Amino acid sequence: MTPEFWLDLPRIVKDIDRNARARAIVLSSTGKHFTAGMDLKVFAAHDGPGAAGQSSPDPYLRAEKFRLDVRNIQDSFNCLEEARIPVIAAIQGGCIGGGVDLVSACDFRLATRDAFFCIQEISIGMTADVGTFPRLCRLMPEGWVRQMAYTGERVDAERARQLGLVNDVFETQEAMIAHALSLARTIATKSPLAVTGSKVMINYARDHSTADCLDYIGVWNSAMLAGPHMQEAMRARMENREPAFADLLPLRDTPL
């Protein structure tokens, strides 16, 4: 994950999402491993604590700037969670350090048999700061998150599946990608409005009470329960065909 990566990924994802170019995203990688994590050159590009060539000798001013630099890096993965469409991560080999931050921001994860997950930051003397802890603690038991975080040990694909981090495990990358694309195609046949509504509600439910969530879904459906979409879905089922739904509308880049 080079310095360019942190700019390119959110730019691409936001372009797909905001311009309604697709109904699902499959995020995959080539080569033996999914990712080795953050390129250490990223740290050198920021005047944070311990950085070389700081632009200011004042450690407090550097710390304040570094905090906002970290927020910008965090935003590179927030776009996956905030996208209106589902994002599926297809992981082979090593998913290390920043890779765990990345895939935990996706809607769900698939892995090959040889995949493994590692919170590598502890082994280089730092605390993971791009989203691992707030997201991973919602995906798998906290005790395992702590064990991975404190030891830097690897969790293999089968263990990750047992812990709930991974949905399915595949023998080959080809089989995994084929399944990921099949899931994406299935999602693409559903009402885009219903899919994005489901994603909004699932994300909302993580941080709110049952009462809050029931109220919010009531408000959502009072405005966006689409009778014509439901009728099309039922007609398509009766006629044994794929339903035809309109795409989400592109978002404006300027204020109304």
**Mean pLDDT across 135-163:** 97
Q: How far is CA 155 from CA 28, 41, 56, 105, 122, in A?
A: 19, 26, 41, 18, 15
**Mean pLDDT across 16-35:** 97
Ranges of each domain in the chain? 3-187, 190-238
The CATH superfamily of 190-238 is Lyase 2-enoyl-coa Hydratase, Chain  A, domain 2 (1.10.12.10)
3-state secondary structure at position 86? coil
pLDDT tens, residue by residue, 28-46: 999 999 999 998 777 666 5
Burial group, residue 78, by CB count within 10 angstroms (0-12, 13-18, 19+):
middle
Share of the chain above pLDDT 90, in %: 83
User: Does residue 154 surpass a pLDDT of 50?
Assistant: yes
Domains 3-187 and 190-238 share a fold: no
Instruction: Please state, in angstroms and rounded to a whole number, the distance separating the CA atoms of residues 173 and 29.
Output: 10
Specify the pTM: 0.91
**Mean pLDDT across 141-148:** 97
3-state secondary structure at position 148? helix
The arrangement of strands across the sheet holding 87-91 comes to 25-27, 87-91, 108-112, 168-170
| Cβ density class 157-180: b for 16+ within 10 Å, e for less | beebbebebbbebbeebeebbebb
Specify the fold of 3-187.
2-enoyl-CoA Hydratase; Chain A, domain 1 (3.90.226)
Instruction: Please state, in angstroms and rounded to a whole number, the distance separating the CA atoms of residues 9 and 27.
Output: 10
User: Does residue 254 surpass a pLDDT of 80?
Assistant: no
